[in-house]
Amino acid sequence: MIISIRHHCFSRWPVVLIGTLTDEGKTTFGPYSLLAPFYVAGKDYYALLLECRNSSNTAQNLIKHKKCTINFLPDDRKYFKETVRLGWPGDKPEEKMKDFNLKLEDGLRKEEDPAGTYPQVIKQAFQVIECTWVDTLDNAQDTRPLNEGEDHYDLEKYHDFNGITTPFGAHFVLRIDHILMKKRYYNTIVNGVKASGFPRVPVDYGYRDSKNFWYTKHRRPIPELLPMRETTVASVRYAADRLQTDIEFTDEALAMLVKVPRVFLPTVLKGCVKWAEENNVKKIDVQEIQTINDKRSKEKKK
Ligand SMILES: Cc1cc2nc3c(=O)[nH]c(=O)nc-3n(C[C@H](O)[C@H](O)[C@H](O)COP(=O)(O)O)c2cc1C
C-alpha cells in the first residue's frame, strides 16, 4: 500500500475482513460478504451497506467506535483459511486475534490524524476501504451497545435500513473515507487495464454447507470490448436547439459531445449553458468545452 483512489471497479464483492476497534483501541477482524454499494453517485460521499448479526464484535464495535477498515485479500488458501477461522460466532477479539497471522499497518486516516485511534489495515490486502458508520441516517445515532450477557435486541421499534433492523440483525451505512490500493493495481485502473495487472481476487458467492465455505480460485480475466457509439453533430445540435437558450454552440464544440450517450445529452448541454451564464459567455466553442471538462474532472477528483 498505499495509494488513495476515488473509484473502484467491483459491483459485487468477495469475502472481506472487516477491521473494527475494541474498547482497548485494538483492531479485531471478522469475515463478511453481505456488503453492497449504497450511495454510488450524486451525494457528497460514497457509501456501502453492511448487513450483519447485531451481536457480532463488528456490529458492537461499529455502534461504539464508528470506524472500520474493509480488507480485500488476494487469492491464497492460507488467507482464506484464516478468514474462515475468524468467522466462528461468539469468539472474543482477544481469543481470535492472538493467533492472527496477517500483518497490520496504519491506514490513511491515522496518517491524517496521528492523535486519533483508527482500526488498522491488513498489509497483504490488495485493496482496503476505510469507512465510518453514518449513524445519523434513519436516526440511528442513539443506538445503544448490548449489555454484558445479552445476545440480541428486544426493541419496540426497529430501524428500516440503518442500525438495529431486527432482533438479531443490523445494517450499517458506511461512508467511504478512503480507498487504498496497492500501486500496481491502481496503475492498472488509471493507466489502462491489462489482464496481468489485475489483483488475484478469489471468487466467492457466500456459498456454504454445514462443513465448508466454498470459493473459486482466481483465473486470468478476459476483456470484452465496451460499445463505442457515436451520434452525429446534427443530432447533438437538435438536442441543443431544444434548450431554448440564447447561448450559441459552435459545430466544433458540439462535435466534442458526439460520444455522450443520448440520455445524458440534455443534462450535459444544460450544464454547459449554466456554466456560460455564470461566466458571462455568449458562445461555446472548443476552448469553453475544454474548460467545462477540466472543471468537471477537478470536481470529481475532490
Ligand atoms: C466467508 C464468511 C462470510 C461471512 N459473511 C457474513 C456476513 O456477510 N454477514 C454476517 O452477519 N456474518 C457473516 N459471516 C459470519 C461472521 O463472520 C461471524 O458472525 C463472525 O462471528 C463475525 O465476527 P465478529 O464477531 O468478530 O464480527 C461470514 C463468515 C464467513 C466465514
Instruction: Return the residue whose CA atom lies nearest to atom 6 of ligand 1.
Output: 32
In the chain, which stretches have pLDDT less than 50?
Answer: 7-9, 11
Q: Ligand 1 atom 9: the closest Cα is on which residue?
A: 52
Q: To test the ligand 1 pocket, which listed residue (53, 73, 174) has its Cβ within 8 A of the most ligand atoms?
A: 53
- What nine digits make up the cell of 112? 491524517
State residue 301's pLDDT score. 63
Boundaries of every domain in the chain: 16-197, 233-301
CATH fit for domain 16-197, picks 3.40.1180.10, 2.30.110.10, 2.40.170.20, 1.10.10.10: 2.30.110.10
pLDDT at res. 9: 47
Cα of 30 from ligand 1 centre, angstroms: 6
* Distance between CA atoms of residues 282 and 248, nearest Å: 6
The region, left, alpha or beta by phi > 0 then psi within -120 to 50, assigned to residue 244 is: left
Domains 16-197 and 233-301 alike in fold:
no
Which residue in 31, 15, 105, 121 sits closest to 67, CA to CA? 121
pLDDT for res 226: 81
Pocket mutation for ligand 1, best pick of 20, 21, 33 (most atoms within 8 Å of C-beta) = 33
Q: What is the CATH number of domain 233-301?
A: 1.10.8
pLDDT of residue 75: 92
